[in-house]
Structure 1
Amino acid sequence: MMRTEKISARGVVVVTAAGSEQGRRTAQELLDSGWCVAVTARTVTELARIMPGMSGHRLLAVAADPGDPRQVERLLNRVLGRFGRIDSVLGAESSIVSAWRRRTPTEGTAAA
């Protein structure tokens, strides 16, 4: 059984394309502001490049190709298994946003 982390008062955000400089900065700002953050990039190499300086129990990194529906589902399952919910998805990966919206009631959710 997976252990669910205590959710911060701020909530849980998935940052897609975290391998980009903008994605990395966004993830770091959210962590610094008290959010639980799941970062995703297409490869482990991309994630390894952005991870120095980011750490803590409120961070989850998952390599996932947004073009592969199975990897998107695995990403969502990992985030939900770790944090118990997803409050927002930030980034341009529409396949991840679409999959998340199919799972989540639309009331009180945000995607950017």
Structure 2
Amino acid sequence: MTKNKYDFSKKTVLITGAGSGIGRAITKAYLDNGANVVIVGRRESALLETVSGYEKERYLIIAKDISIPENSVKIVESAVKHFGKIDVVVNNAAVLVNGEIQDMLLSDWEKIRSINIDAFVYLAQAVYPELLKSKGNLVATSSVSGSFGDWGQSAYNATKHAINGFVRSIALDWGTDGIRVNAVAPAFTKTEMTLGIGNTEKELQPFINRIALGRPGRPEDVAPAVLFLSSGDATYITGTILTVDGGTSASSGQPHIG
């Protein structure tokens, strides 16, 4: 999963949205680099698939809805009770709802806001005392959509703009406490969340035309960046939104000609 090895032995990492896609890849990367992990998601069966083949004593599965405020407190309490501490939090859970604002159902906005924004706030509040003790750090999964606009994604983009704002501001607030806060920002990445997008060569071509490296992202492209930001190699990096986008955001938006 990672070309370089990071020493996460004796570290406890809490990861949300760990049942598929980027969250699953991140979980495996931490396990491969020696960490104990607490993995959170709605479906226990999916979480079990994520940790299949790893020693049971190295992971704790928590199947809970993170959009419910009190669940974040319960998750943190369970993690500390099981492993004794929390060193790293990876706030990865997110949902995507496409559509223009005038057509969006209020229930869709409630869903995307509660998972992408509210759950981030609840977990940050709940885990702060533990990160203060461990002098740990938090890494969020944002998106290049948090820095720019996209057609038909106003709600999703707004939530990712919010995450970027939280990351930068919390990094300032928590910096003197010895806690680092950063984010990774992928572009179009083939995961369960993007099923139905770019499934044929013709549908995929507009995305490829914007990607300097000529292919969509994979979850395995994102995981190493998360490990780096939470590792001892990044001890002077905080408040950063690290793009992991194959060069997508290097473009001015002009079409690829020639």
Structure 2 length as normaliser, TM-score?
Answer: 0.37
1:21 matched residue in structure 2: 21
- Describe the shift of the 1:11–1:48 C-alpha distance in structure 2 as closer, same or farther (beyond 3 A): closer
Give the AA of the match of 1:37. V
Higher relative contact order (CA 8 A, sep 6+): 1
Structure with more of its chain in helix, by fraction = 2
2:72 matched residue in structure 1: 72
Gaps of 5+ in 1: 1-7
1:91 matched residue in structure 2: 91
Gaps of 5+ in 2: 1-7, 93-118, 140-258
1:3 matched residue in structure 2: none
- Describe the shift of the 1:106–1:65 C-alpha distance in structure 2 as closer, same or farther (beyond 3 A): same
Question: Aligned partners of 1:60, 1:49: CA distance in 2, in Å?
Answer: 13
Give the CA deviation at 1:67.
1.0
Alignment of 1:1-112 (within 5 A): 9-92=9-92, 93-94=119-120, 95-102=122-129, 104-105=131-132, 108-112=135-139
Give the CA deviation at 1:107.
7.4
Larger radius of gyration, structure 1 or 2?
2
Question: Aligned partners of 2:134, 2:73: CA distance in 1, in Å?
Answer: 21
Give the AA of the match of 2:126. A
Question: Aligned partners of 2:134, 2:51: CA distance in 1, in Å?
Answer: 33
Give the CA deviation at 1:104.
4.1
Question: Aligned partners of 1:9, 1:76: CA distance in 2, in Å?
Answer: 20
CA deviations over 1:27-56 (Å, ceiling 9, x no partner): 111111111111110232432343433433
Stretch of structure 1 that moved more, 63-72 or 33-42: 63-72
Give the CA deviation at 1:97.
2.6
Give the AA of the match of 1:40. V
Question: Aligned partners of 2:38, 2:26: CA distance in 1, in Å?
Answer: 11
Stretch of structure 1 that moved more, 21-30 or 102-111: 102-111
- For the residue of structure 1 that corresponds to 2:56, the secondary structure is coil
Structure 1 length as normaliser, TM-score?
Answer: 0.78
Give the CA deviation at 1:103.
5.0
